[in-house]
A and B are shown apart, each in its own frame.
Chain A
Amino acid sequence: MHADTEIKFRDSAAKALLDPQLRANFRRAMDGLIFKRKAQFPNPRDLEDLRDLSTAIRSRSLLNLPALLEQFETQATKNGIQVHWAETCDQANELILGILRSKGAKTLVKGKSMVSEEMHLNAFLEEHGIEALESDLGEYIIQLDGETPSHIIMPAIHKNKNQIARQFSQKIKDAKYTEDVDELTAMARKVLRQKFLDADAGLSGVNFAVAETGTLCLVENEGNGRMSTHVPPIHIAVMGLEKVVATLEDVAPLYAILTRSATGQAVSTYFNLITAPRGAGEKDGPQEMHLVILDNGRSRIYADPQLQATLRCIRCGACMNHCPVYTRVGGHAYEAVYPGPIGKILTPQTEGVGVRHDLIHGSSLCGACGEVCPVKIPIPEILVRLRREATHEDVGSQVNGKGTGRTATEDWAWRLWALANKRPALYRVITWFATRFGNALPAGAPLIKDWTRTRTKPVPARRSLSERVRAKGVPHV
């Protein structure tokens, strides 16, 4: 049995709701993103066809996953990429540390990678004396303040420019205070260019991995991904094991729907296809390339036919942009690496449905996420399924921590409910008391308190339905 201690999300969400600046920052940003995405899909038929195709491609890739991973590994190795496998984040961190140490590398410049956030790689490397510097502008901004991303695509979305202006003037050497976005961007450019030039190694995530050619695909607008992967002598990429697809032709529609769903762009500034390190006759590019393939609970998710859909995700962030909960509480309230709807189904599966059952319940099940998801992940259905998993120990279920979200109170409540519903006499007695005296219970009474914290107390009717029907002369009720 799990005690009622894990209510992180409820409390941090309540706190976030009291911050008008935070709410304004998110509301403005999400409205903009919703509008821009919509403008990219003027034709509903094109949108639906593209979603169907993308969903089919991701489903196919997953059905073939073990074979595709092997094919990818063979091809990438042939191209000169060293492929490593990690079951856990600890293993992945150790692998990367090992690579860096063997080369005497002291500085690592990073392109955006959510998997590296999942691994808490920066903190791990700092502990071991290696500087890990984020170079995506948003990531750089939050790293200066020691924060975590509040959105998977726009990590610094919770901050406004005054906050960033103040931060830059305090933390960047010789920087003056300015709220001009171009000037702020130029400051970051100057600092980071030097870092690209000096870094011993670069790290990136992976948007898609192509099995047939052994290629890593990277989507970005800034160019920091290209800098991190092409300027330093060593390039290390990290990816979740679900990222592989069969062919580059499969990538094309996924890329088309990714940028449109994410930021409402028809195309990103750069789409970088990296197949090999510096080859014969080439004058630049990394001399050495590594790829770390991370499991961290994914193979367990894979084992369940319904939950497997979670792994179709292409990390576009559209589900959070359209989520009424996310928009109001922001990304940090989730206290998880992946916030928003995708985080609500992913985090409990990797960390345990009992440990993070606060997340599974923090949803109104309005369905917006499932409706916009480019790969049609049925997020609301999965949430409902995980709610069951949290309190049941179904045979055959492989869900991490199944049954550990049960609480004694809830258990008793359901037992009483079952009892009352099995015994008509008892049921009648209970409803008789509830209708006559239910209203006398104070709003602050235990159990009722949880409901009335944010809602008015329900007032029971003076007569139960069956009493009223009987009074009308209908027999046998």
Chain B
Amino acid sequence: MSDARTAILGRLRASGQTGPLPDLDTAVLERKQWPATERAALLRKGMEAVHTEFLEATPADWPAVVRACCDREGFKNLLFGPTSEAGSALAAAWAPGGTHLMPYDRPVEAFKDELFTGVDAGFTGTVGGIAETGGLLLMPGPAEPRLMSLVPPIHIALLRSSTIQDTFWSAVKHLGWGRALPPNALLISGPSKTADIEQTLAYGVHGPKRLIVVLVDDLY
């Protein structure tokens, strides 16, 4: 259909819509700033309002916090990325017995049915958070495949306070996503939800029914 391409671009060019480009005044975005120490609380407020759960942890004890959560919930297994930074740290601290740590180490085609029906929860790291509205930034890839934060009914995400940015706009700049984006990048602000029936909120429509954030306080 390169004919269509030529015709469409030709028509757009022929109409000669040029002129001075309007200025972009981004002051409204720049105004949104908070001290690093306040960002975690703000993020938490935004995300709790949409049913995200939080667990507090320190840089040293977060693997134990994840483990305790799994034991408490009685998960039979937890899907994780064995080669990711967060995943390998979790595995190193994982004592045998109880919840089985299940590595996502093969192409999805090899265990699609099991992924959809046999996994209790998925664990991922994050690359940042958004203070203004609440939200986690994820960068799925070879070490943490895309479906880990989507298909299991519960998603546990590790977030370090120091990585929380003011706004999505400032995060995009900070992470350099504007210039080169990974194959998939993602903002998640809560468990999957819908209001399509009579505007009544219902959680867990397609994606995870619960989102649990393990918030690591690493600012001091």
Binding site for B on A (CB under 8 A): 25, 28-29, 32, 46, 49-50, 52-53, 55-57, 59-60, 62-66, 69-70, 79, 84-87, 91, 95, 135-138, 141, 154-157, 160-161, 164, 181-182, 184-186, 188-189, 192-193, 196-197, 210, 212-213, 215, 221-224, 226-227, 230-231, 241, 247-253, 255-256, 263, 266-285, 293, 295, 299-300, 302-303, 305, 308
Decide: B189 and A66 in contact? CB cutoff 8 A.
no
Task: Please state if B206 and A135 are interface contacts (CB–CB under 8 Å).
Answer: yes
User: Among the listed B11, B13, B197, which residue makes an inter-chain contact with A181, where contact means beta carbons less than 8 Å apart?
Assistant: B197
Q: Given A154-B199, A270-B189, list of 8 further CB < 8 A pairs?
A: A28-B199, A253-B169, A256-B133, A272-B184, A277-B183, A285-B145, A285-B146, A293-B8
A247, B8: Cβ atoms under 8 Å?
no
Interface residues of B (CB under 8 A from A): 1-2, 4-5, 7-9, 11-15, 17-19, 21-29, 31, 46, 50, 104-108, 112-113, 116, 130, 132-135, 141-142, 145-147, 150-151, 167-169, 172-173, 177-200, 202, 204-208
Closest to A80 in B: B183
A46 CA / B104 CA spacing, docked (Å): 44
Quick one: which of B4, B9, B104, B145 contacts A86, CB cutoff 8 A? B4
**Interface on chain A toward B: helix, strand, loop, or mixed SS?**
helix
Residues of B within 8 A of A193 (CB): 116, 206
* Nearest opposing residue in chain B for A279, CB measure: B183
CA distance A422 to B112 in the complex (A): 80
- Taken together as a complex, chains A and B put the C-alpha atoms of A157 and B26 apart, in Å, by 35
Given known contacts A52-B25, A256-B168, A302-B17, A212 and B184 CB-to-CB distance under 8 angstroms: no
Report the minimum CB–CB distance from B145 to chain A (whole Å).
4
Smallest Cβ distance from B153 to chain A, in angstroms?
Answer: 10
Secondary structure call for the B interface = loop
Which residue of A64, A226, A251, A308 is within 8 Å of B21 (Cβ)?
Answer: A64
Residue in contact with A273 in the complex, picked from B2, B21, B134, B184, CB distance below 8 Å: B184
**A69-B9, A154-B196 as given contacts; A283 in contact with B180, CB under 8 Å:** no
Contacts of B145 in A (CB 8 A): 282-285
Residue from the list B28, B180, B198 in contact with A49, Cβ < 8 A: B28
Residues on the A chain within 8 Å of B178, using CB: 212-213, 247-249
8 closest cross-chain pairs (CB), A and B: A223-B207, A281-B142, A252-B169, A138-B196, A49-B28, A303-B15, A267-B133, A276-B183
Residues of chain B within 8 A (CB-CB) of A221 are: 192-195
Cβ A32 vs Cβ B199 within 8 A: yes
Report which of B4, B22, B113 forms a contact with A87, defined as CB distance below 8 A. Answer: B4
> Please, which residues of chain B bring their CB within 8 A of the CB of A231?
147, 151
The CA-CA distance from A137 to B105 in the complex, in Å, is: 32
CB–CB A222/B205 < 8 A: yes
Q: Which residue of B lies closest to A225 (CB)?
A: B206
The answer, among A57, A293, A302, for a CB contact under 8 Å with B24, is A57
Measured CA separation A267–B190 after assembly (Å): 10
A222 engages B22 (CB within 8 Å): no
In the complex the two chains form, is B206's CB within 8 Å of A248's CB? no
A59 — which chain B residues lie within 8 A by C-beta?
21-22
Cβ A161 vs Cβ B8 within 8 A: no
Q: Across the interface, which residues of A come within 8 angstroms of B147, CB to CB? A: 230-231, 284
Question: Nearest Cβ distance between residue A51 and chain B, in whole angstroms?
Answer: 9
Please name the residue on chain B nearest to A162 by beta carbon.
Answer: B198
CA distance A340 to B2 in the complex (A): 35
